[in-house]
Amino acid sequence: MALAALGTWVPPRAVGNKDLPAHLETSDEWISQRTGIRSRRIADSGTPASELGIEAAREALTASGTDPGDIGLVICASVSPDQLMPATAARIAAAVGAGNAGAYDVLAGCTGFIYALGAAASSVAAGLAERVLVVGAEVISSILDWEDRSTCVLFGDGAGAAIVAPAEGRGRLLGFDLGNDGTGADLLEVPAGGSRLPASAQTVQQRLHFLRMNGREVYRFATRVVPESAERILAEAGRSVAEVDLFVPHQANQRIIDVAAKKLGIPEDRVLSSLAEYGNTSCASIPISLAHALEQDRLHDGDLVLLTGFGAGLSWGSCLLEWGA
Ligand code: UT7
């Protein structure tokens, strides 16, 4: 099972820490010291996540030389989908020419891309589809509360895509570790707009359609589950931490990345960070970071690559890849 190609797309508008609205009473110093974020891309108001996903998907299709008509399944991971229904994947599939492919969305917080990759690999292995297009697409700026400095400074918009196919490709998928602890479901959520708390004038007034997070608790959770999940997947694959050539963690906070890498014993030069430039792009953060690694010539044939994500749910997930195999 292989990851045949990658594609990414980010909106052109970069918003640096110093460009954030003055009413937030934040500072470049606070944001960069506490999170490592210096800038993020923000889509124009009214841009749907599918628009970013379509660009990333087209790039992945072209890079792999895949005829869109040969895609049997499109899976989109997003916490800021176009709509509650239909699936964002449906619009992406139609736009890229994979019109008859199955299409559905995955909602697993920022771990969504790893979950979607796992679903894609299993679908190919089970013969459900020959080739699967996996997309992580976010216009997360549309669900941020721009009055809440504790969350809105952390995130950015972007998309990443991958083709999963049985043949040899850019990376051989060696295995997955997926998990979730629903007792932490309230720690990172969009409270209203679903059947639990339907939209009303009151929910709008109370700003309950925006992302809310208990940052400290999510931080604690992330610094615990990221190393645990990484160790589990390595043990299952019979590989050791010392063999990991590149660690690509979900990009939420540089401090989380540093603590996790330190706990695992992975040296700094084997850890990928794209936070400074893009912030937390949720389901797009791992594919964007992988593409970043490729651009920087940090991925070579035979490299063992460890991807680990975490997020709302509270979810976590790891994937082990052998590059160029
Ligand atoms: O993809 C999954 C998403 N998850 C995450 O990104 C969450 C992980 N959590 C974190 O990354 C960190 O907990 C945060 C970056 C969210 C917060 O960092 P922290 O070091 O845990 O800060 P804190 O919440 O303990 O807040 C410290 C202070 C508070 O002020 P007081 O109460 O000490 O006076 C906050 O009000 O920092 C204040 N603060 C800010 N100050 C300036 C919070 N946000 C800001 C801000 N600018 N943007």
Residue 143: name the closest of 134, 152, 135 by CA.
152
Cβ–ligand 1 distance for 71 under 6 Å, the answer: no
Q: What pLDDT sits at residue 325?
A: 54
For the chain, the structural domain boundaries read 2-167, 174-323
Q: What pLDDT sits at residue 168?
A: 65
Q: What pLDDT sits at residue 324?
A: 85
The SS3 assignment for 228 reads helix
Residue among 17, 253, 280, 319 flagged as catalytic: 280
Asked if the domains at 2-167 and 174-323 fall in one CATH topology, the answer is: yes
Distance CA 174, CA 66 (A): 22
Distance CA 10, CA 288 (A): 9
Nearest atom (ligand 1) to Cα of 285: 1
Q: Which tokens sit at 315? A: 């979810």
Instruction: Yes or no: say if 18 and 28 are a contact pair by the CB < 8 Å rule.
Output: yes
Q: How far is the centre of ligand 1, averaged over its atoms, from the C-alpha of 214 (Å)?
A: 9
Distance CA 119, CA 258 (A): 29
Q: What pLDDT sits at residue 258?
A: 98
Nearest atom (ligand 1) to Cα of 253: 11
Cβ–ligand 1 distance for 32 under 6 Å, the answer: no
Tens place of pLDDT per residue across the chain (325 aa): 888 889 999 999 999 999 999 899 999 999 999 999 999 999 999 999 999 999 999 999 999 999 999 999 999 999 999 999 999 999 999 999 998 999 999 999 999 999 999 999 999 999 999 999 999 999 999 999 999 999 999 999 999 999 999 976 678 899 999 999 999 999 999 999 999 999 999 999 999 999 999 999 999 999 999 999 999 999 999 999 999 999 999 999 999 999 999 999 999 999 999 999 999 999 999 999 999 999 999 999 999 999 999 999 999 999 999 998 5
Which DSSP string corresponds to 88-125? HHHHHHHHHT-TTSEEEEE-BTBTHHHHHHHHHHHHHH
Cβ–ligand 1 distance for 26 under 6 Å, the answer: yes
Residue among 110, 152, 283, 319 flagged as catalytic: 110
Helix-then-strand count for the chain, H and E: 10, 13
Cβ–ligand 1 distance for 64 under 6 Å, the answer: no
Q: What pLDDT sits at residue 171?
A: 86
Residues 6+ apart with CB under 8 A from 80: 49, 138, 139, 140, 142, 143, 282
Q: Give the Cβ contact number of residue 217 at 10 Å.
A: 14
Q: What pLDDT sits at residue 76?
A: 98
Q: Is it true that domain 174-323 has CATH number 3.40.47.10?
A: yes
Cβ–ligand 1 distance for 312 under 6 Å, the answer: no
Instruction: Yes or no: say if 56 and 9 are a contact pair by the CB < 8 Å rule.
Output: yes
Does 280 qualify as catalytic in the annotation? yes
Cβ–ligand 1 distance for 284 under 6 Å, the answer: no
Which residue has a Cα nearest atom 5 of ligand 1?
A: 252
Which residue has a Cα nearest atom 11 of ligand 1?
A: 253
Does 214 qualify as catalytic in the annotation? no
For the domain made up of 2-167, give the CATH fold: Peroxisomal Thiolase; Chain A, domain 1 (3.40.47)
